[in-house]
Amino acid sequence: MTTQSASGGESPVEREQGGLERKMETRHLTMISLGGVIGTGLFLSSGYTIHQAGPLGAIVAYGIGSVLVYFIMLSLGELSVAMPYAGSFHLYAKRFIGPGTAFTIAVLYWLNWAVALASEFTAAGLLMQRWFPHSPAWMWSAMFIALVLLLNVLSVRLYGESEFWFASIKVFAIVAFIVIGLLAIFGVIPIAGYTHAPLFGNYAADGWLPNGVLPIFSTLLTVVFAFSGTEVVGVAAGETKDPSKAIPKAVHTTVLRLAIFFIGSIAVMAALIPWRKSGVDTSPFVLVFQSIGMPFAGDVMNFVVLTAVLSAANSGLYVCSRMVWSLAREGMIPRVLGRTNFHGVPVFAVMFSMAGSLLALLSSVVAASTVYLALVAVSGLATLVVWASVSVCHIRFRRQWLAEGHAADELRYRAPGYPFVPIAAIVMCVGALVLVVLDPSQRSTLLYMIPFVALCYAGYHLKTRFASSDAD
């Protein structure tokens, strides 16, 4: 196995970049990971979780989700420092699970982000209609498509810089929300509907778990998917300066901030908004800001959500293109898609990925109940598959590392809690899949997912069979 050397120097495989350049810094890596997660799910849909599970139940659900993400990121941190490849997931799977599984994971993950990318462009167009109600949404969508494409094509540093500022706006909005909310909770600033400090009375107003324990598990699946995107750190590892320092720092700071932002926001919402009124019609962020008399609360949050959408689209195109680039480098798809320009950007992979997202966008218009529905269903479980594969690869990597005579202390970054961390993560991912089976609204995703995965394996084996016959 070719990974890091015991002396701490880079191995030939690690130096092999295929034309990609290491231009991103730790701050870029951290914000890219935060930007991939903090989106419309937190700003718009978080109130729904409170409404379903109750105040305490929502915090418990997000707490469990945070633990799972932390475990996955610890495993990914060790793998990414040892083998900092761009498009890392399927390369780890190829090395430690099998090439057929690696191909399937790459296709699933690419499809996941391509479909998400299409929905983000649609959302951006609709958000602009708040300010320009008589303008066509497609015009704004087209403008944002051009902007995101430009940011990804010019240079990886420009992409990292733009994502840093996109994510910074979201982070600032969340911090401001938590701080203002805490001031309102303790009566420092007045809030409509209360003549005294609200404190935490809403938590116990109808009992600690007004809907019982089961809604915690039914909303847990939504929470797990809300955290998807943190794994982008692994994709960006191959284009990061000094990954042995940048990746561990990004792993720990990202998960800590996510836990604070998500759980902190939920805690403030639950304290200030009665759980029965949460997540019904309006964003809980807007409800809180309006209650304290913040001017233009709706417009401010519309801007923040628009930034979140563009950030997600920016990350989505980056991730898609690196998956395509990596597959092309492996010879699984035409190798021309693995070429880079003089800035180290895989332009053909970027263009191919944008074309894929535009086809998904088109299907959402002309075949929403058939083709697009199937695409959304297949991509929905991709994150769980990737997370589980990362944990399996971590276990097999560590076993092989020790079998070759190395000691765990020789690793430049060693995930704490091994082997409990990856095993627990696998159990939690399997548990989430069980929730899919038990949830009637989610069960249909498996009807699309299983045959699609079978087709991916079949496609891989046909490709390798034809390749071997041509070689003969």
310-342 pLDDT tens trace? 888 888 888 888 889 888 888 888 889 888 877
Alpha helices in 8-135 (DSSP H): 12-15, 26-37, 40-43, 46-82, 88-96, 99-128
The Cα 221–Cα 413 span in angstroms is 30
The Cα 203–Cα 115 span in angstroms is 37
Contact 398, 410 (CB under 8 A): no
356-377 pLDDT tens trace? 999 888 888 888 777 887 887 7
pLDDT given for residue 147 in this prediction: 92
258 assigned to some structural domain:
yes
Q: Which domain holds residue 69?
A: 21-462
pLDDT given for residue 87 in this prediction: 61
The Cα 332–Cα 370 span in angstroms is 28
252 assigned to some structural domain:
yes
pLDDT given for residue 9 in this prediction: 44
List, in order, residues 6 or more apart from 387 with CB less than 8 Å away.
68, 72, 231, 425, 429
pLDDT given for residue 15 in this prediction: 41
Burial of 463 (0-12, 13-18, 19+ CB in 10 A): middle
468 assigned to some structural domain:
no
The CATH number for 321's domain is 1.20.1740.10
Buried b (16+ CB within 10 A) or exposed e, 76-88: bbbbbbbbbbbbb
469 assigned to some structural domain:
no
Q: Which of 83, 36, 457, 50 is nearest to 265 (CA)?
A: 50
CA angle 70, 447, 223 (to 5 degrees): 25
7 assigned to some structural domain:
no
pLDDT given for residue 427 in this prediction: 95
Q: Which residue numbers in the chain have pLDDT < 50?
A: 1-16
The number of folded domains in the chain is: 1
11 assigned to some structural domain:
no
The Cα 358–Cα 239 span in angstroms is 26
333 assigned to some structural domain:
yes
455 assigned to some structural domain:
yes
pLDDT given for residue 393 in this prediction: 95
Look up residue 356 and give its amino acid.
G
Q: What length does the chain have?
A: 472
